[in-house]
C-alpha cells in the first residue's frame, strides 16, 4: 500500500511538472520553478478546501509564479492517516486536516479533544493563537516530523440525530458515529450514548439504513455531505472546536531557501485568517440550508450544557494524564 501510494504521488507530481512548470525544474526562460502537492481528505465545498486553495494561491502570488502548489482534495492522495504518514516521509509536502487523526502520531494533540472547553469559537481561536501555547505545539509537531503553519477551523462540532434532545438523558442509547479517536468515544460514552467508529464515506448510508442513529461534525460537513437529509434534528452540542491544521514536512521545509520559507509562512497566515472569516460567513448559510430542508436546529439550555460538562469531567482527567502538563495548562490558559 505504501509503495502504491508513493507511485500515485510520483505520478501526480509528474503531471504537475507538465501542467505547472515542474517539481523543481528550470523553464525555458531559465527561471527555477516548483510545483508541490497538498493533500486533504475533505470534499471541495468545505472551508478545508478554501483554506488549502487560498494558501496555494498566496504562495503563487508572493513568489510571482515561481512556487506553485496543487491541491488534491477528497482523499485523492489518501485518507487522514495516509496523508500524515506521507507528509512525515516527505512524499507529500503539505497537508491540511482536522487535528483529531493526529493524536496517534502526536499524543499531545489530544489537548484539542477536551470537551466543552470554550463557550465561543473566538475563545477557541484565542487559545490556539496564544504565542506560549503555539510555540509548544510547534515543538510537538516538529518532534512528529512536521512544521506547523497554523490553525483555522470550521466552527464547533455539533450532533445530528433523529431524536430531539432536551436534556442529558436524551443522549442515552443513541448509536452515534464518531472518528477513530478514543477521547471522542469516551465523551459520548460519558453521555450514555453508544459511540460507533465508522469511515466517513459510510456515514450517509449508515444513517439511511439506520445502522446508526446519529453522527457529529461541523455544520460545514453536515451540509456538504447532505447528512441533514437523513436526520430530523441538529443539536448544538458545540462539544469541540473543529480545528483545521496546515502542516508541512519538517525535513522538506528546512531544505527550502529562507526566502521560500518566508513566503510559505506569510501565505499560511493570510490563508488562516481567510478561512476563519469564510467559516463564520458560511455557518449561517449552512444553518439556513438545514432549516429550509425541514430539519430542526436545537440549542441546548444552560442546565443541559452544564450537565454535559460535568459528565465529561473524567475525560479531562484522562487527557491531562496523557499530554504534557505545560501543553494542557497553556491551552486552557492556566498559570
First to last CA, the chain: 46
Phi-psi sector, 120: left (phi>0), alpha (psi -120 to 50), beta: beta
CATH of 2-321, one of 3.40.50.20, 3.10.620.30, 3.60.70.12, 3.40.190.170: 3.40.190.170
**pLDDT (tens digit, 9 = 90+) per residue, 191-230?**
999 999 998 889 999 999 999 999 999 999 999 999 999 9
Q: Residue 86: name the closest of 169, 3, 23, 147 by CA.
A: 3
**pLDDT (tens digit, 9 = 90+) per residue, 140-197?**
999 999 999 999 999 999 999 999 999 999 999 999 999 889 999 999 999 999 999 9
Q: How many CB atoms lie within 10 A of CB 13?
A: 19
SS (H, E, C) 213-230: CEEEEEHHHHHHCCHHHH
The grid coordinates of residue 105 equal 502520531
State pTM to two decimals. Answer: 0.89
Domain ranges of the chain: 2-321
- Taking the CA atoms of residue 44, residue 46, residue 49 and residue 50 in that order, the dihedral angle to the nearest 10 degrees is 120
Amino acid at each position: 500500500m505504501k509503495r502504491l501510494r508513493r507511485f500515485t504521488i510520483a505520478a501526480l507530481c509528474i503531471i504537475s511538472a507538465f501542467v505547472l512548470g515542474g517539481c523543481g525544474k528550470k523553464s525555458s526562460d531559465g527561471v527555477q520553478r516548483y510545483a508541490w502537492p497538498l493533500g486533504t481528505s475533505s470534499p471541495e465545498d468545505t472551508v478545508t478546501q478554501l483554506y488549502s486553495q487560498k494558501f496555494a494561491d498566496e504562495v503563487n502570488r508572493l513568489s510571482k509564479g515561481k512556487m506553485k502548489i496543487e491541491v488534491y482534495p477528497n482523499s485523492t492522495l489518501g485518507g487522514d492517516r495516509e496523508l500524515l504518514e506521507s507528509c512525515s516521509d516527505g512524499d507529500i509536502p503539505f497537508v491540511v486536516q482536522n487535528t483529531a487523526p493526529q493524536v496517534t502520531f502526536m499524543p499531545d494533540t489530544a489537548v484539542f479533544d477536551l470537551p466543552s472547553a470554550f463557550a465561543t469559537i473566538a475563545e477557541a481561536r484565542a487559545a490556539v493563537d496564544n504565542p506560549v501555547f503555539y510555540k509548544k505545539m510547534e515543538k510537538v509537531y516538529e518532534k512528529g516530523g512536521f512544521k506547523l503553519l497554523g490553525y483555522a477551523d470550521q466552527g464547533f462540532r455539533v450532533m445530528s440525530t433523529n431524536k430531539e434532545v432536551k436534556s442529558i438523558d436524551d443522549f442515552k442509547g443513541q448509536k452515534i458515529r464518531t472518528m477513530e479517536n478514543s477521547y471522542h468515544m469516551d465523551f459520548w460514552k460519558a453521555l450514555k450514548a453508544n459511540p460507533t467508529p465508522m469511515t466517513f464515506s459510510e456515514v450517509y448510508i449508515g444513517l439511511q439504513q439506520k445502522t446508526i442513529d446519529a453522527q457529529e461534525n461541523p455544520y460545514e460537513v453536515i451540509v456538504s455531505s447532505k447528512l441533514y437529509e437523513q436526520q430530523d434534528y441538529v443539536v448544538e452540542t458545540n462539544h469541540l472546536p473543529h480545528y483545521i491544521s496546515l502542516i508541512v514536512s519538517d525535513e522538506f521545509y528546512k531544505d527550502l531557501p529562507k526566502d521560500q520559507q518566508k513566503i510559505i509562512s506569510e501565505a499560511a497566515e493570510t490563508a488562516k485568517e481567510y478561512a476563519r472569516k469564510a467559516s463564520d460567513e458560511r455557518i449561517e448559510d449552512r444553518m439556513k440550508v438545514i432549516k429550509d430542508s425541514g430539519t430542526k436546529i436545537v440549542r441546548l439550555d444552560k442546565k443541559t450544557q452544564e450537565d454535559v460538562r460535568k459528565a465529561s469531567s473524567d475525560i479531562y482527567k484522562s487527557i491531562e494524564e496523557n499530554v504534557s502538563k505545560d501543553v494542557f495548562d497553556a491551552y486552557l490558559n492556566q498559570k
